[in-house]
């Protein structure tokens, strides 16, 4: 039945997160991350195909999806340990502070790029703004920084241990 199929799929997702999340996550992150970075610097040609700034409109969200898939893989591993389906010793401790620092650093870097674009626009007399590449890079950094902060907070929740027995 549909219900049994769904339960089976949920079991697979829980027990093999590396296949479902990590492999596509690393592929998306690596490929679309390099593409986003390269296109943020200027147009590029691959074989006979010319890639330009308009390709950023799909490379940026697919890069972010890759990052989120990697976080889902980490969620699944932490959840398995949290509910007792794997040994807590198999899971490396999670450093919330490092990830919060990374996320805040990415946000600051993104805001700095946005400010440089804004200052350049104001200095030009508020003429037409041609900063798609710079703004796309800043948007990507801002989005990833936000994802790092939010996901790190959620992962750190799995490391909280409470004694459910009342005394």
Query: What is the pLDDT at residue 91?
Result: 67
- 11-15, 131-135, 161-165 — which one is most confidently predicted on average? 131-135
Which tens digit of pLDDT belongs to each residue from 48-67?
889 888 888 999 999 999 99
CA 117 to CA 124: how far, in whole Å?
11
Query: What is the pLDDT at residue 163?
Result: 47
Q: Helix, strand or coil for residue 134?
A: helix
Q: Is residue 159's pLDDT more than 50?
A: yes
**Token match 């093999």: residue?**
16
- 42-46, 113-117, 123-127 — which one is most confidently predicted on average? 113-117
Q: What is the mean pLDDT of the chain?
A: 86
How would residue 15 be classed by pLDDT, with cut points 50, 70 and 90? Answer: confident
- Judge whether 15 and 116 are in contact, CB under 8 Å: no
Which is higher by pLDDT, 93 or 4? 4
Q: Is residue 80's pLDDT more than 70?
A: yes
CA 69 to chain centre: 7
How would residue 88 be classed by pLDDT, with cut points 50, 70 and 90? Answer: low
Q: Helix, strand or coil for residue 165?
A: coil
């Amino acid at each position: 039945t549909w219900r049994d199929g769904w339960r089976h799929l949920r079991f697979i997702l829980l027990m093999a997160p590396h296949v479902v999340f990590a492999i596509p996550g690393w592929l998306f992150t690596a490929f679309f991350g390099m593409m986003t970075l390269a296109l943020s610097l200027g147009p590029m040609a691959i074989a006979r195909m010319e890639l330009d700034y308009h390709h950023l409109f799909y490379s940026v969200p697919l890069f972010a999806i890759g990052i989120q898939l990697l976080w889902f893989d980490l969620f699944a591993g932490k959840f398995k340990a949290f509910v007792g389906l794997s040994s807590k010793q198999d899971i490396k401790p999670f450093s919330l502070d490092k990830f919060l620092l990374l996320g805040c650093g990415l946000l600051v870097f993104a805001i700095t790029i946005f400010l440089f674009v804004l200052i350049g626009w104001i200095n030009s007399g508020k003429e037409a703004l041609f900063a798609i590449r710079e703004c796309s890079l800043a948007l990507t950094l801002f989005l990833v920084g936000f994802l790092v902060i939010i996901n790190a907070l959620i992962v750190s929740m799995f490391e909280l241990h409470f004694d459910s027995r009342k005394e």
